[in-house]
Structures are given as C-alpha cells and as structure tokens.
Amino acid sequence: MPLSKIFEPCRGVQVGLWQMTEGIVQFPKPKGVNISFRSDKRLKEELCVYALLTAMTGNDHLVIGHEPSGKPWLDGWSVSVSHTRGWVAIILSTDFQVGIDVEYTSDRVSKVVDRFIREDEQRETLSQQLINWSAKETVYKLFSEQKLDYFDMRLHDLPSEIDTVLDRDAHVVSGGIAGSVLVDVLKTNGVATVHYELTPDYVLTYSFYSN
C-alpha cells in the first residue's frame, strides 16, 4: 500500500501522509467501526484514514469520534484529519493541540483568492496562494473553538524560494520545498507557527501548540 510517510516533527507529535491509489476492496475493514457512505469516494477516504491511523499507532482498534461541531476526537490523543483528491493526512499528539491540512496541487485557488487572502498578504504567485489557503485551514482547525474566518488570519511573508516549485499554471519547476510561516490570529492577538511542505502533487500544512 502506498503509505507516503510517517514522521515526528517534534517529540510527542506524529504526522502521517497516505497517497490513495488503492481500490476500496484493498483496504482492511476497521475493527469496531461502522463505516457507511453512499459515495465510494467518501468511503475510500474513511478507510484510508483508518489504515493510516493504524500505521501510525500500531493499534487497529482505535475509533475516531466527532464533536457536534464536526471536530474529530480520539481517546487519549489530540487528532486532526484532512483529505483531498488522492491524499489523506493525520496529525496526532498526546501533549499538544494539533491541526493539519492537505490539498492537491492545482490552480483552482487562483480563481477565488479574494475569498481567503487579505489585501495585506502575498497573493501574486500560485505557491503563495496554495500555502495561504492550506495554512489557514490548519489554523482554523487548531483553534476550532474560535470559529475563525479566513480574514481573521494573516500570514507573514513567505520566502521567494517557494516559487521554485510551480509556475503560475501549476507546471512543475522543481521537486518540492519545506519550511514554516507565522500566522497572526487577529481575533485573539495570537500567533501560530505553521509548517508547510509544497510539492508538485500536494501542499501539506500542520501546526501544534502546548496545552
């Protein structure tokens, strides 16, 4: 199975990424979980979430629940989950609050930049737009109780090196780049550090903070 990677950005935090190339029947059925979706796409995503969760923890009996707000919870862990076309990502921690987002690489965000990028943020290049979108999704999850709007968050400037990965039409220039960016949470006067990985196939962002 094409598990992409599992890594620890710091002690007590695990990040997992899975590229979904399997068919539904190739995923094991999770134990103790009743998964039923009308859409094969959603069913496949959920099966992949549990396959990745098992790979990360070594425990195939874990069950992800959801709060009324839709936020996932897992007994003994802080958890955040994201899926996009072809990819599933999970971040887990016993010590930190966490948030994660993954988006497949395309120029679709360029058509809606005015909906999520502030006038005082970088917006000229596709790489800036993709990281901005994904980073704000991550921060929204990290501080879900704040019910943040996109414009309640402001990214600090990103390095010019990110524009060596893609051109404006999402054509590949190089293999990928990783880094971190500060995000101002204007609603609470807080700041979050968001780690990012931009590749020709996806942008992955994640963040964590101590309870």
3-101 sits in which CATH class?
Answer: alpha beta
Q: What's the pLDDT score for residue 34?
A: 74
3-class secondary-structure state, position 155:
strand
Q: What's the pLDDT score for residue 3?
A: 77
Q: Which residue has the higher pLDDT, 34 or 12?
A: 12
Among 22-36, 96-110, 127-141, name the one with the lowest average pLDDT.
22-36
3-class secondary-structure state, position 98:
strand
What residue spans define the domains of the chain?
A: 3-101, 104-210
**Cα distance between residue 99 and residue 194, in whole Å:** 9
pLDDT tens profile 173-209: 557 899 999 999 999 999 999 999 999 999 999 999 9
pLDDT tens profile 67-98: 887 889 999 999 999 999 999 999 999 999 99
